[in-house]
Amino acid sequence: MLFYTGTQFPAAIRNSLLLTYHGYRKHGHRIVALLDGGKDGPLGRSVTLVTGERGRPMGAPVGIALDAAGHVYISDDHNGTVARLHYEGTGSGNPDR
């Protein structure tokens, strides 16, 4: 898990807890954010940022890190890779879109 303080994602994601769900079952292979609440919603609301359903073979995220520029890196012990999480969106600040 990682407390996200970077600026690479919408403001609604900042100051949230990012979690990697390791595993190969239904709830595994995903990255979620537990939002900090504030004016955007209830404390601890869970938003899925990445799910393993998009690619094969499915990965198993195990580690998460933040660099000085605010980029998030995820290690995967199934595929033996490290990936950088990248946001492509409208900048609306709404993590549900």
**Cβ count within 10 A of residue 27:** 8
Strand 81-85 to 72-76 pairing: antiparallel
Q: Is 4 left (phi over 0), alpha (psi -120 to 50) or beta?
A: beta
Residue 67 belongs to domain spanning: 2-85
Number of domains in the chain: 1
- Taking only the tens place, the pLDDT of each residue in 59-70 is 688 889 999 988
Q: Which stretch of 5-14, 39-48, 61-70, 78-87 has the lowest confidence by average pLDDT?
A: 39-48
Give residue 44's identity as a one-letter amino acid code: G
The answer to whether position 51 is within a domain reads yes
The answer to whether position 93 is within a domain reads no
- Taking only the tens place, the pLDDT of each residue in 5-30 is 988 888 888 889 999 888 767 777 78
CB-CB contact of 79 with 59 (8 Å) = yes
Around 55, how many Cα atoms within 13 Å sit in the side-chain half-sphere? 8
- Tell me, what's the pLDDT at 7? 87
The answer to whether position 23 is within a domain reads yes
The answer to whether position 97 is within a domain reads no
Predicted confidence band of residue 86 (pLDDT cuts 50, 70, 90): confident
